[in-house]
Amino acid sequence: GLDFARELASGGTKVFLDMKLLDIDNTVAKGVENIVKMGVSMLTLHAYPKTMRAAVEAAKGSDLCLLGVTVLTSMDEQDMIDAGYEYDPHTLVLRRSEQALHAGMGGIVCSAEEAEAV
């Protein structure tokens, strides 16, 4: 868990936490601040605009690379409809990628199918 990640990071190992954080912006910011203190190299969070802006602000001045998870690769078009999204997965990936860029994220996570379009 996190104790092991902290131990690895303190020993100089680059640690990528694939946590896919998603919560209200203040909660995400506090989580990111704590992860920065751990010395982790990379962290994933869901690519929602407020979430990304809060995370970027919380990580400011650190070496933490924030990656926005655009759409879970397991989600298909029917899942998107069932969840109430008005976009198909491909369109939402493009939209969230642009939002991640504007928020100042270090990168995004998407499926190989969307990688070329992004």
Task: Indicate the domain borders of the chain.
Answer: 2-112
Tokens at 79, concatenated: 């899942």
Q: What is the mean pLDDT of each successive set of 10 residues along the chain, which is 118 residues long?
A: 93 97 97 96 98 98 98 91 92 96 98 90
Percentage of the chain beyond pLDDT 90 is: 89
**What's the predicted TM-score (pTM) here?**
0.93
Tokens at 102, concatenated: 């504007």
Calpha distance 32→25 (Å, rounded): 10
What fold does the segment set 2-112 form as a domain? TIM Barrel (3.20.20)
Angstrom CA distances, 31 to 45, 50, 78, 86, 101, stand at: 11, 14, 32, 30, 21
Give the β-pairing of 65-69 and 16-21. Answer: unpaired
Closest CA to 68 of 103, 32, 41: 103
Tokens at 109, concatenated: 């996570």
Cβ atoms within 10 Å of 115's Cβ, excluding its own: 11
Cβ atoms within 10 Å of 86's Cβ, excluding its own: 8
> Would you state the pLDDT for residue 1?
85
Q: Which residues are the active-site residues?
A: 20
Give the β-pairing of 65-69 and 107-109. Answer: parallel
